[in-house]
Amino acid sequence: MIDAHCHLTYPGLKERVENVLAEARRALKAVVTSGLPYDAEKSPGFPGAKEALALSERYRGFVFVTLGLHPTQVPEMSDEEVAEYINFIEENRDRIVGIGEIGLDKYWLSSEDDLKRAREVFLSLLEVAEKLGKPVVIHSRKAEEEAVEILSSYSLDGRVLLHSFTGNMTTAKKALDMGYFFSINYKVTNTKSMRKIAKTFPLESILTETDSPFLSHEAGVNTPLQVRLILEEISRLRGLGFEEVDAITTRNAVSFFGLEKQTSERTSDKSLPRDT
């Protein structure tokens, strides 16, 4: 099992991340965390991103990092801060496995000025992904059609992961035809389009994620370990065994993020924290 998208340094998880990862390591092959620039207090110096990178060093071969800029954070940042953060991403290119999450959000961003700036920054980050040859993890809430249209203009070789996609099936099928991937989370239990993707799209196009600490299946904080629930639901929808769905979606994530060498070396890496 692999959790292809979560937020280990976000409040709710960060306070108990060592225990969470100790539990996750017993069951999962890897966890991919999205390192966004700021913490909840918008402390200077991109603490969320730096904490994510530090975790990936401490849990080498198990925790991997994508660095991105959530569209709802864009209005909080000056042009200079955005440029500094992009430079930070480029400086850490060898420590990350992708650019994300990045994209558009028409649910939380309502003013045209904010949306315009979010588009501009989205384009800039896609150019960074092209330049660095990194896959992208896309946030596109209520903006799926526009995001896919924008993505089609970039040379990303199909290395696009539509995180938590709940758009219409016409857009979903267009993305599938372009070779894009979909990460399924707990919304699969109650969202029509995600259920249809999980049930009918080629399993080779699907990854699993928790988006933790968000999207808990019950009151409280979600964790990467709950990716098992997603796999169980996909298995039920498709009428396939858990092991088969797990094997294919895990292989998809390893290939998408290029984790082959790192995860294979994990068991022999004595620097990895051990359970006590």
Which candidate, 105, 97, 106, places its Cα nearest to that of 62? Answer: 97
The answer to whether the beta carbons of residues 185 and 162 sit under 8 Å apart is: no
Reported as a single tens digit per residue, the pLDDT across 39-53 is 656 677 898 899 999
* pLDDT over threshold 90, residue 269: no
Listed in sequence order, the residues at least 6 apart from 173 whose beta carbon sits closer than 8 Å to its beta carbon are none
* pLDDT over threshold 50, residue 76: yes
Residue type, 87: N
Give the integer Cα–Cα distance in Å for 50 and 31: 17
Per CATH, is 2-268 categorized as 3.40.630.30?
no
Q: What is the pLDDT of residue 268?
A: 43
Mean pLDDT, all residues of the chain: 93
Confidence of residue 271 (pLDDT cuts 50, 70, 90): very low
Domain boundaries, the chain: 2-268
Give the integer Cα–Cα distance in Å for 250 and 92: 25
Reported as a single tens digit per residue, the pLDDT across 206-248 is 999 999 999 998 888 999 999 999 999 999 999 999 999 999 9
> Within 13 Å of residue 184, how many CA atoms lie on the same side as its CB?
38
Reported as a single tens digit per residue, the pLDDT across 172-214 is 999 999 999 999 999 999 999 999 999 999 999 999 999 999 9
Give the integer Cα–Cα distance in Å for 268 and 204: 29
The answer to whether the beta carbons of residues 105 and 142 sit under 8 Å apart is: yes
Listed in sequence order, the residues at least 6 apart from 124 whose beta carbon sits closer than 8 Å to its beta carbon are 82, 86
Q: What is the pLDDT of residue 40?
A: 58
Question: What is the rounded radius of gyration, in angstroms, for the C-alpha atoms of the chain?
Answer: 17
Binding residues: 5, 7, 101, 139, 163, 211
Confidence of residue 61 (pLDDT cuts 50, 70, 90): very high
> What is the DSSP-derived secondary structure letter of residue 77?
S
Binding residues for a divalent metal cation: 5, 7, 101, 139, 163, 211
Give the integer Cα–Cα distance in Å for 173 and 159: 16
Buried-exposed string 183-192: b where 16+ CB fall within 10 A, e elsewhere: bbbbbbeebe
Give the integer Cα–Cα distance in Å for 73 and 251: 32
Q: What percent of the chain has pLDDT over 70?
A: 93
Q: What is the pLDDT of residue 274?
A: 38
Reported as a single tens digit per residue, the pLDDT across 93-110 is 999 999 999 999 999 999
CA distances from 38 to 69, 87, 221 (A): 9, 15, 20
